[in-house]
Structure 1
Amino acid sequence: MKAKAVLFDLFETLVTEFSDGKRISNRNYDYLELLGLPNEDFKKEWRIRSKARMTGIFPDYPSTIRDILIKRELNCKEESIKFLYEERMREKEIPFREIQPEIIDLLSFLKSKKVSLGLVSNCTEEEVRLWKDSGISKYFDVAIFSYEVGYAKPDERIYKLACHQLKVEPRESIFVGDGGSDELTGAYNIGLTPIQATWFNSYIESNFTKAADPLTLKEMLKDI
Protein backbone atom coordinates (compact mmCIF):
# COMPACT_ATOMS: atom_id res chain seq x y z
CA MET A 1 0.00 0.00 0.00
CA LYS A 2 1.83 3.09 -1.26
CA ALA A 3 1.45 6.50 0.34
CA LYS A 4 3.46 9.59 1.20
CA ALA A 5 1.68 10.27 4.49
CA VAL A 6 -0.35 8.54 7.17
CA LEU A 7 -2.86 10.50 9.21
CA PHE A 8 -3.97 9.10 12.56
CA ASP A 9 -6.90 9.70 14.86
CA LEU A 10 -5.86 10.00 18.52
CA PHE A 11 -8.37 8.64 21.04
CA GLU A 12 -9.17 4.94 20.71
CA THR A 13 -6.57 4.71 17.95
CA LEU A 14 -3.23 5.71 19.49
CA VAL A 15 -4.40 6.00 23.10
CA THR A 16 -7.43 4.67 24.93
CA GLU A 17 -9.67 5.73 27.78
CA PHE A 18 -11.08 2.24 28.26
CA SER A 19 -10.04 -1.14 29.64
CA ASP A 20 -12.10 -4.30 29.20
CA GLY A 21 -14.92 -2.22 27.79
CA LYS A 22 -15.09 0.10 30.79
CA ARG A 23 -13.89 3.67 31.18
CA ILE A 24 -10.66 3.70 33.17
CA SER A 25 -11.45 6.87 35.08
CA ASN A 26 -14.08 7.26 37.76
CA ARG A 27 -16.96 9.55 36.83
CA ASN A 28 -19.22 8.95 39.79
CA TYR A 29 -20.05 12.61 40.34
CA ASP A 30 -23.32 13.84 41.77
CA TYR A 31 -24.08 16.73 39.44
CA LEU A 32 -27.28 17.49 41.35
CA GLU A 33 -25.25 18.16 44.47
CA LEU A 34 -22.39 19.89 42.65
CA LEU A 35 -24.31 21.98 40.13
CA GLY A 36 -28.00 21.63 40.97
CA LEU A 37 -28.68 19.56 37.85
CA PRO A 38 -29.65 15.85 37.80
CA ASN A 39 -27.01 13.60 36.24
CA GLU A 40 -29.12 12.62 33.22
CA ASP A 41 -29.96 16.24 32.51
CA PHE A 42 -26.30 17.18 32.74
CA LYS A 43 -25.31 14.41 30.30
CA LYS A 44 -28.01 15.57 27.86
CA GLU A 45 -26.79 19.17 27.99
CA TRP A 46 -23.18 18.00 27.59
CA ARG A 47 -24.03 15.99 24.47
CA ILE A 48 -25.98 18.88 22.95
CA ARG A 49 -22.82 20.98 23.11
CA SER A 50 -20.52 18.33 21.63
CA LYS A 51 -19.85 20.07 18.30
CA ALA A 52 -19.45 23.47 19.95
CA ARG A 53 -16.97 22.00 22.41
CA MET A 54 -14.95 20.25 19.71
CA THR A 55 -14.75 23.29 17.47
CA GLY A 56 -13.68 25.73 20.15
CA ILE A 57 -16.91 27.71 20.37
CA PHE A 58 -16.60 26.91 24.05
CA PRO A 59 -12.88 27.55 24.65
CA ASP A 60 -12.63 25.37 27.73
CA TYR A 61 -14.51 23.09 30.12
CA PRO A 62 -15.57 25.79 32.61
CA SER A 63 -17.17 27.91 29.87
CA THR A 64 -19.22 24.89 28.78
CA ILE A 65 -20.45 24.25 32.32
CA ARG A 66 -21.31 27.91 32.83
CA ASP A 67 -23.33 27.93 29.61
CA ILE A 68 -25.28 24.87 30.74
CA LEU A 69 -26.05 26.45 34.10
CA ILE A 70 -27.03 29.81 32.61
CA LYS A 71 -29.36 28.16 30.09
CA ARG A 72 -30.91 26.16 32.94
CA GLU A 73 -31.20 29.32 35.05
CA LEU A 74 -29.00 27.87 37.77
CA ASN A 75 -26.33 29.58 39.83
CA CYS A 76 -22.75 29.14 38.63
CA LYS A 77 -21.08 27.46 41.57
CA GLU A 78 -17.48 28.38 40.83
CA GLU A 79 -16.01 26.02 43.44
CA SER A 80 -17.87 23.09 41.92
CA ILE A 81 -16.87 24.13 38.38
CA LYS A 82 -13.22 24.34 39.47
CA PHE A 83 -13.42 20.93 41.13
CA LEU A 84 -14.96 19.28 38.05
CA TYR A 85 -12.42 20.95 35.74
CA GLU A 86 -9.48 19.72 37.81
CA GLU A 87 -10.97 16.22 37.95
CA ARG A 88 -11.50 16.21 34.19
CA MET A 89 -7.91 17.27 33.54
CA ARG A 90 -6.67 14.44 35.77
CA GLU A 91 -8.94 12.02 33.92
CA LYS A 92 -7.65 13.12 30.52
CA GLU A 93 -4.05 12.56 31.58
CA ILE A 94 -4.65 8.82 32.03
CA PRO A 95 -4.54 7.75 28.33
CA PHE A 96 -1.12 9.36 27.88
CA ARG A 97 0.59 7.79 30.88
CA GLU A 98 1.23 4.40 29.34
CA ILE A 99 1.39 4.24 25.56
CA GLN A 100 1.26 0.66 24.34
CA PRO A 101 4.64 -0.56 23.02
CA GLU A 102 3.00 -1.80 19.84
CA ILE A 103 1.88 1.76 19.06
CA ILE A 104 5.40 3.10 19.57
CA ASP A 105 6.77 0.32 17.35
CA LEU A 106 4.28 1.14 14.59
CA LEU A 107 5.07 4.86 14.62
CA SER A 108 8.81 4.22 14.76
CA PHE A 109 8.51 1.86 11.80
CA LEU A 110 6.63 4.43 9.74
CA LYS A 111 9.17 7.14 10.51
CA SER A 112 11.95 4.78 9.44
CA LYS A 113 10.16 4.59 6.09
CA LYS A 114 10.42 8.38 5.76
CA VAL A 115 6.63 8.66 5.73
CA SER A 116 5.09 11.91 6.93
CA LEU A 117 2.81 11.48 9.93
CA GLY A 118 -0.14 13.65 10.84
CA LEU A 119 -2.55 13.64 13.76
CA VAL A 120 -6.18 14.70 13.25
CA SER A 121 -8.14 14.73 16.50
CA ASN A 122 -11.58 15.88 17.55
CA CYS A 123 -10.85 17.17 21.03
CA THR A 124 -11.06 19.97 23.57
CA GLU A 125 -8.16 21.77 25.18
CA GLU A 126 -8.12 19.78 28.43
CA GLU A 127 -8.14 16.45 26.61
CA VAL A 128 -4.74 16.95 24.98
CA ARG A 129 -2.81 18.83 27.66
CA LEU A 130 -0.30 15.97 27.85
CA TRP A 131 0.06 15.46 24.10
CA LYS A 132 3.41 17.24 23.81
CA ASP A 133 4.82 15.38 26.80
CA SER A 134 3.55 12.00 25.66
CA GLY A 135 5.78 9.33 24.18
CA ILE A 136 4.25 9.66 20.73
CA SER A 137 4.10 13.36 19.85
CA LYS A 138 7.72 13.33 18.66
CA TYR A 139 6.83 11.01 15.78
CA PHE A 140 4.36 13.45 14.24
CA ASP A 141 5.14 16.16 11.73
CA VAL A 142 1.74 17.82 12.16
CA ALA A 143 -0.93 17.70 14.89
CA ILE A 144 -4.35 19.15 14.08
CA PHE A 145 -6.72 19.62 17.03
CA SER A 146 -10.32 20.47 16.19
CA TYR A 147 -10.81 22.98 19.00
CA GLU A 148 -7.85 25.00 17.67
CA VAL A 149 -8.82 25.06 13.98
CA GLY A 150 -12.58 25.49 14.38
CA TYR A 151 -13.85 22.41 12.56
CA ALA A 152 -14.04 18.74 13.38
CA LYS A 153 -14.16 15.39 11.61
CA PRO A 154 -15.90 14.49 9.34
CA ASP A 155 -15.63 18.07 8.02
CA GLU A 156 -13.43 17.79 4.94
CA ARG A 157 -11.51 20.94 5.89
CA ILE A 158 -9.74 19.29 8.80
CA TYR A 159 -8.29 16.54 6.61
CA LYS A 160 -7.36 19.02 3.90
CA LEU A 161 -5.58 21.20 6.44
CA ALA A 162 -3.50 18.25 7.63
CA CYS A 163 -2.60 17.29 4.07
CA HIS A 164 -1.75 20.89 3.20
CA GLN A 165 0.58 21.20 6.19
CA LEU A 166 2.22 17.89 5.29
CA LYS A 167 2.52 19.03 1.67
CA VAL A 168 0.75 15.95 0.30
CA GLU A 169 -2.45 15.35 -1.65
CA PRO A 170 -5.28 13.40 0.02
CA ARG A 171 -5.01 10.70 -2.66
CA GLU A 172 -1.39 10.19 -1.59
CA SER A 173 -2.39 9.64 2.04
CA ILE A 174 -3.86 7.06 4.39
CA PHE A 175 -6.15 7.81 7.33
CA VAL A 176 -6.22 5.46 10.34
CA GLY A 177 -8.94 5.75 12.96
CA ASP A 178 -11.42 3.74 15.02
CA GLY A 179 -14.32 5.24 13.07
CA GLY A 180 -15.90 7.54 15.63
CA SER A 181 -17.53 10.77 14.41
CA ASP A 182 -17.92 9.20 10.95
CA GLU A 183 -14.24 10.03 10.44
CA LEU A 184 -13.52 7.19 7.99
CA THR A 185 -16.25 8.26 5.60
CA GLY A 186 -15.09 11.86 5.89
CA ALA A 187 -11.57 10.80 4.97
CA TYR A 188 -12.78 8.65 2.09
CA ASN A 189 -14.93 11.44 0.66
CA ILE A 190 -11.93 13.67 -0.01
CA GLY A 191 -9.72 10.93 -1.43
CA LEU A 192 -7.83 9.54 1.56
CA THR A 193 -7.54 5.77 1.92
CA PRO A 194 -9.24 4.87 5.23
CA ILE A 195 -8.17 2.00 7.48
CA GLN A 196 -10.26 1.21 10.53
CA ALA A 197 -8.25 0.57 13.69
CA THR A 198 -10.21 -1.95 15.76
CA TRP A 199 -7.64 -2.79 18.46
CA PHE A 200 -9.20 -0.51 21.09
CA ASN A 201 -12.69 -0.11 19.69
CA SER A 202 -14.29 -2.94 17.72
CA TYR A 203 -17.90 -1.78 18.10
CA ILE A 204 -18.18 0.61 15.16
CA GLU A 205 -19.34 -0.96 11.92
CA SER A 206 -17.89 0.06 8.57
CA ASN A 207 -17.08 -1.40 5.17
CA PHE A 208 -13.54 -0.06 5.19
CA THR A 209 -10.38 -2.15 5.50
CA LYS A 210 -9.74 -3.11 9.12
CA ALA A 211 -6.59 -3.63 11.17
CA ALA A 212 -7.10 -5.76 14.27
CA ASP A 213 -3.91 -4.60 15.97
CA PRO A 214 -0.91 -2.32 15.35
CA LEU A 215 1.19 -5.26 14.17
CA THR A 216 -1.38 -6.05 11.49
CA LEU A 217 -1.36 -2.42 10.36
CA LYS A 218 2.44 -2.46 10.28
CA GLU A 219 2.32 -5.49 8.01
CA MET A 220 -0.27 -3.81 5.79
CA LEU A 221 2.01 -0.79 5.43
CA LYS A 222 5.32 -2.64 5.08
CA ASP A 223 5.71 -1.58 1.45
CA ILE A 224 4.55 1.98 1.97
Structure 2
Amino acid sequence: MIEAVFFDLYETLITEWENGKKKAEFHPANILGIDQAIFKSEWSKRKELRMDGSFPDAKSCLVDMFQALDKPINMDDIHTVIENRINAKTIPFQSIDKEIIRTIMQIKEMGIKVGLISNCAPEEVKAWEHSPLAILFDTVIFSYEVKCAKPRKKIYNTACANLNVLPEHSLFIGDGGSNELYGAREAGLIAYHAVWFQPLFISEKIAGFPKLKKPSEILSLLKANV
Protein backbone atom coordinates (compact mmCIF):
# COMPACT_ATOMS: atom_id res chain seq x y z
CA MET A 1 0.00 0.00 0.00
CA ILE A 2 1.42 3.37 -1.04
CA GLU A 3 1.08 6.04 1.63
CA ALA A 4 3.32 8.80 0.22
CA VAL A 5 4.78 10.06 -3.01
CA PHE A 6 8.03 12.04 -2.91
CA PHE A 7 9.11 14.19 -5.83
CA ASP A 8 12.37 15.72 -6.97
CA LEU A 9 12.08 19.40 -7.99
CA TYR A 10 14.19 20.54 -10.94
CA GLU A 11 13.53 18.63 -14.17
CA THR A 12 10.72 16.73 -12.43
CA LEU A 13 8.20 19.35 -11.27
CA ILE A 14 9.81 22.33 -13.01
CA THR A 15 12.28 22.61 -15.87
CA GLU A 16 14.99 25.05 -16.84
CA TRP A 17 14.78 23.99 -20.49
CA GLU A 18 12.51 24.83 -23.40
CA ASN A 19 12.96 23.66 -27.00
CA GLY A 20 16.46 22.42 -26.22
CA LYS A 21 17.65 25.71 -24.73
CA LYS A 22 17.88 27.12 -21.23
CA LYS A 23 14.91 29.39 -20.48
CA ALA A 24 17.33 31.84 -18.91
CA GLU A 25 21.00 31.90 -19.74
CA PHE A 26 23.69 33.97 -18.12
CA HIS A 27 27.45 33.68 -18.12
CA PRO A 28 28.94 34.05 -14.64
CA ALA A 29 32.47 33.29 -15.83
CA ASN A 30 32.39 36.30 -18.14
CA ILE A 31 31.08 38.57 -15.39
CA LEU A 32 33.73 37.36 -12.96
CA GLY A 33 36.57 37.45 -15.48
CA ILE A 34 37.35 33.73 -15.12
CA ASP A 35 37.98 31.30 -17.94
CA GLN A 36 34.75 29.38 -18.68
CA ALA A 37 36.31 25.93 -18.29
CA ILE A 38 38.02 26.89 -15.04
CA PHE A 39 34.82 28.36 -13.61
CA LYS A 40 32.84 25.25 -14.53
CA SER A 41 35.43 23.00 -12.93
CA GLU A 42 35.69 25.01 -9.71
CA TRP A 43 31.90 25.40 -9.39
CA SER A 44 31.40 21.66 -9.95
CA LYS A 45 34.06 20.77 -7.36
CA ARG A 46 31.96 22.54 -4.76
CA LYS A 47 28.60 21.08 -5.76
CA GLU A 48 28.23 18.74 -2.79
CA LEU A 49 29.28 21.48 -0.36
CA ARG A 50 26.72 23.83 -1.94
CA MET A 51 23.97 21.23 -1.77
CA ASP A 52 24.57 20.14 1.82
CA GLY A 53 24.75 23.68 3.16
CA SER A 54 28.47 23.65 3.94
CA PHE A 55 28.52 26.84 1.91
CA PRO A 56 25.63 28.80 3.44
CA ASP A 57 25.10 30.83 0.27
CA ALA A 58 26.43 31.46 -3.23
CA LYS A 59 28.59 34.36 -2.06
CA SER A 60 30.63 32.19 0.31
CA CYS A 61 31.15 29.64 -2.46
CA LEU A 62 32.29 32.23 -5.00
CA VAL A 63 34.63 33.88 -2.51
CA ASP A 64 36.14 30.46 -1.78
CA MET A 65 36.67 29.93 -5.52
CA PHE A 66 38.48 33.23 -5.90
CA GLN A 67 40.68 32.46 -2.93
CA ALA A 68 41.53 29.01 -4.31
CA LEU A 69 42.43 30.56 -7.68
CA ASP A 70 44.40 33.30 -5.92
CA LYS A 71 42.45 35.99 -7.76
CA PRO A 72 41.39 39.40 -6.42
CA ILE A 73 37.80 39.44 -5.21
CA ASN A 74 35.35 41.94 -6.73
CA MET A 75 32.24 41.85 -4.55
CA ASP A 76 30.22 43.93 -7.00
CA ASP A 77 30.74 41.29 -9.69
CA ILE A 78 29.90 38.51 -7.24
CA HIS A 79 26.65 40.24 -6.25
CA THR A 80 25.77 40.67 -9.94
CA VAL A 81 26.30 36.96 -10.56
CA ILE A 82 24.15 36.04 -7.56
CA GLU A 83 21.31 38.33 -8.69
CA ASN A 84 21.46 36.85 -12.19
CA ARG A 85 21.46 33.34 -10.78
CA ILE A 86 18.42 34.02 -8.59
CA ASN A 87 16.58 35.47 -11.59
CA ALA A 88 17.49 32.48 -13.76
CA LYS A 89 16.32 30.01 -11.11
CA THR A 90 13.06 31.92 -10.62
CA ILE A 91 11.94 31.61 -14.24
CA PRO A 92 11.14 27.83 -14.13
CA PHE A 93 8.68 28.48 -11.30
CA GLN A 94 6.71 30.88 -13.48
CA SER A 95 5.42 28.31 -15.98
CA ILE A 96 4.57 25.10 -14.16
CA ASP A 97 2.91 22.40 -16.23
CA LYS A 98 -0.79 22.25 -15.34
CA GLU A 99 -0.77 18.44 -15.58
CA ILE A 100 1.81 18.34 -12.79
CA ILE A 101 -0.32 20.47 -10.48
CA ARG A 102 -3.46 18.52 -11.38
CA THR A 103 -1.72 15.19 -10.75
CA ILE A 104 -0.44 16.24 -7.32
CA MET A 105 -3.91 17.44 -6.35
CA GLN A 106 -5.41 14.12 -7.43
CA ILE A 107 -2.79 12.21 -5.43
CA LYS A 108 -3.78 14.15 -2.33
CA GLU A 109 -7.47 13.53 -3.04
CA MET A 110 -6.66 9.81 -2.85
CA GLY A 111 -5.53 10.34 0.74
CA ILE A 112 -1.87 9.91 -0.13
CA LYS A 113 0.72 12.29 1.31
CA VAL A 114 3.03 14.28 -0.94
CA GLY A 115 6.60 15.32 -0.23
CA LEU A 116 9.49 17.08 -1.92
CA ILE A 117 13.15 16.08 -1.68
CA SER A 118 15.38 18.54 -3.52
CA ASN A 119 19.13 18.97 -3.74
CA CYS A 120 19.50 22.73 -3.84
CA ALA A 121 21.29 25.80 -2.59
CA PRO A 122 19.31 28.71 -1.09
CA GLU A 123 19.36 30.93 -4.19
CA GLU A 124 17.88 28.15 -6.33
CA VAL A 125 14.57 27.95 -4.46
CA LYS A 126 13.84 31.54 -3.44
CA ALA A 127 10.76 31.43 -5.70
CA TRP A 128 9.40 28.23 -4.14
CA GLU A 129 7.21 29.76 -1.44
CA HIS A 130 5.39 31.94 -3.98
CA SER A 131 4.82 29.13 -6.49
CA PRO A 132 1.51 27.23 -6.78
CA LEU A 133 3.39 24.07 -5.81
CA ALA A 134 4.28 25.17 -2.29
CA ILE A 135 0.81 24.79 -0.75
CA LEU A 136 0.41 21.26 -2.15
CA PHE A 137 3.20 19.57 -0.22
CA ASP A 138 2.97 17.93 3.20
CA THR A 139 6.74 18.12 3.71
CA VAL A 140 9.51 19.93 1.87
CA ILE A 141 13.11 18.83 2.24
CA PHE A 142 15.73 21.19 0.86
CA SER A 143 19.16 19.60 1.13
CA TYR A 144 20.95 22.75 2.28
CA GLU A 145 18.50 23.07 5.19
CA VAL A 146 18.90 19.49 6.47
CA LYS A 147 22.67 19.46 5.77
CA CYS A 148 22.38 16.30 3.73
CA ALA A 149 21.96 15.72 -0.02
CA LYS A 150 20.76 12.95 -2.28
CA PRO A 151 21.70 10.16 -2.79
CA ARG A 152 22.49 9.79 0.92
CA LYS A 153 20.06 7.51 2.68
CA LYS A 154 19.53 9.98 5.52
CA ILE A 155 17.66 12.55 3.41
CA TYR A 156 15.06 9.99 2.28
CA ASN A 157 14.69 8.69 5.83
CA THR A 158 14.14 12.24 7.07
CA ALA A 159 11.40 12.80 4.49
CA CYS A 160 9.63 9.57 5.41
CA ALA A 161 9.89 10.32 9.12
CA ASN A 162 8.37 13.77 8.56
CA LEU A 163 5.29 12.14 7.08
CA ASN A 164 5.30 9.15 9.44
CA VAL A 165 5.43 6.67 6.55
CA LEU A 166 7.65 3.67 5.88
CA PRO A 167 10.06 3.87 2.92
CA GLU A 168 8.65 0.65 1.48
CA HIS A 169 5.21 2.28 1.37
CA SER A 170 6.55 5.30 -0.52
CA LEU A 171 7.33 6.23 -4.10
CA PHE A 172 10.17 8.49 -5.17
CA ILE A 173 9.87 10.15 -8.57
CA GLY A 174 12.72 12.09 -10.13
CA ASP A 175 14.71 12.75 -13.29
CA GLY A 176 17.67 10.79 -11.92
CA GLY A 177 20.18 13.57 -11.30
CA SER A 178 22.66 13.14 -8.42
CA ASN A 179 22.03 9.37 -8.49
CA GLU A 180 18.80 10.11 -6.64
CA LEU A 181 16.94 7.05 -7.93
CA TYR A 182 19.67 4.71 -6.69
CA GLY A 183 19.68 6.50 -3.34
CA ALA A 184 15.92 6.21 -3.04
CA ARG A 185 16.00 2.51 -3.82
CA GLU A 186 18.84 1.95 -1.35
CA ALA A 187 16.74 3.72 1.31
CA GLY A 188 13.85 1.34 0.61
CA LEU A 189 11.57 3.57 -1.48
CA ILE A 190 10.12 2.47 -4.81
CA ALA A 191 11.84 4.66 -7.42
CA TYR A 192 10.48 5.79 -10.78
CA HIS A 193 12.31 7.71 -13.48
CA ALA A 194 10.43 10.85 -14.59
CA VAL A 195 11.34 11.46 -18.24
CA TRP A 196 8.65 13.94 -19.29
CA PHE A 197 11.14 16.80 -19.43
CA GLN A 198 14.04 14.73 -20.78
CA PRO A 199 15.07 14.13 -24.40
CA LEU A 200 15.40 10.44 -25.24
CA PHE A 201 19.20 10.44 -25.45
CA ILE A 202 19.40 11.60 -21.83
CA SER A 203 16.65 9.40 -20.40
CA GLU A 204 18.23 6.30 -21.92
CA LYS A 205 21.41 6.87 -19.89
CA ILE A 206 19.60 5.78 -16.75
CA ALA A 207 18.59 2.14 -16.68
CA GLY A 208 17.02 -0.15 -14.13
CA PHE A 209 14.08 2.03 -13.15
CA PRO A 210 10.59 2.10 -14.71
CA LYS A 211 10.06 5.28 -16.69
CA LEU A 212 7.11 7.64 -16.47
CA LYS A 213 6.47 9.57 -19.68
CA LYS A 214 3.87 11.91 -18.22
CA PRO A 215 2.84 12.90 -14.70
CA SER A 216 -0.66 11.42 -14.93
CA GLU A 217 0.86 7.93 -15.19
CA ILE A 218 1.54 8.18 -11.45
CA LEU A 219 -2.20 7.97 -10.81
CA SER A 220 -2.46 4.58 -12.51
CA LEU A 221 0.38 3.29 -10.36
CA LEU A 222 -1.32 4.45 -7.20
CA LYS A 223 -4.73 3.09 -8.09
CA ALA A 224 -3.10 -0.32 -8.47
CA ASN A 225 -1.33 -0.08 -5.11
CA VAL A 226 -3.57 1.88 -2.73
TM range, smaller chain: over 0.9
In the TM superposition, residue 40 of structure 1 has moved relative to its aligned partner by 1.1
Cα distance in 2, alignment partners of residues 124 and 149 from structure 1: 11
TM-score, reference length from structure 1: 0.95
| Aligned match for 1:57, one of 32, 54, 58 | 54
In the TM superposition, residue 191 of structure 1 has moved relative to its aligned partner by 1.1
Q: What is the aligned partner in structure 1 of residue 17 from structure 2?
A: 18
Instruction: Please list, as runs of the form range in 1=range in 2, the aligned pairs for 1:68-107 lying within 5 A after superposition.
Output: 68-107=65-104
| Aligned match for 1:188, one of 185, 188, 195 | 185
Cα deviation digits, residues 84-131 of structure 1 (max 9, x gap): 010001001011111110001100100101111110000000111111
Cα deviation digits, residues 44-100 of structure 1 (max 9, x gap): 100000000000111111111100001111111011001101000100101111111
Q: What is the aligned partner in structure 1 of residue 8 from structure 2?
A: 9
Q: What is the aligned partner in structure 2 of residue 214 from structure 1?
A: 215
Q: CA RMSD in A?
A: 1.2
Cα deviation digits, residues 135-187 of structure 1 (max 9, x gap): 11111110000011111100000000000010011011110111111111111
Q: Is the 8 A contact 1:15 1:96 kept in 2?
A: yes
What is the DSSP-based 3-state SS (H/G/I as helix, E as strand, rest coil) of the residue aligned with 1:176? strand
Q: Is the 8 A contact 1:188 1:194 kept in 2?
A: yes
In the TM superposition, residue 35 of structure 1 has moved relative to its aligned partner by 2.5
What is the DSSP-based 3-state SS (H/G/I as helix, E as strand, rest coil) of the residue aligned with 1:221? helix
Cα distance in 1, alignment partners of residues 10 and 58 from structure 2: 18
- Percent identity over the alignment is 40
Cα distance in 1, alignment partners of residues 187 and 50 from structure 2: 24
| Aligned match for 2:134, one of 113, 133, 137 | 137
Instruction: Please list, as runs of the form range in 1=range in 2, the aligned pairs for 1:111-126 lying within 5 A after superposition.
Output: 111-126=108-123
Q: Structure 2 counterpart of 1:214, which letter?
A: P
Which has more helix, going by share of residues? 2
Q: Is the 8 A contact 1:56 1:124 kept in 2?
A: yes
What is the DSSP-based 3-state SS (H/G/I as helix, E as strand, rest coil) of the residue aligned with 1:194? strand
1:152 aligns with 2:153: no
What is the DSSP-based 3-state SS (H/G/I as helix, E as strand, rest coil) of the residue aligned with 2:81? helix
Cα distance in 2, alignment partners of residues 19 and 213 from structure 1: 16
Cα distance in 1, alignment partners of residues 216 and 175 from structure 2: 16
Q: Structure 2 counterpart of 1:212, which letter?
A: K
Cα distance in 1, alignment partners of residues 63 and 84 from structure 2: 16
Q: Is the 8 A contact 2:26 2:84 kept in 1?
A: no
Cα distance in 2, alignment partners of residues 133 and 222 from structure 1: 31
TM-score, reference length from structure 2: 0.94
Tell me whether 86-95 or 203-212 shows the greater mean CA deviation.
203-212
Cα distance in 1, alignment partners of residues 78 and 18 from structure 2: 28
Q: Structure 2 counterpart of 1:121, which letter?
A: S
Runs (5+) with no aligned partner, structure 1: none
Cα distance in 1, alignment partners of residues 2 and 177 from structure 2: 23
Runs (5+) with no aligned partner, structure 2: none
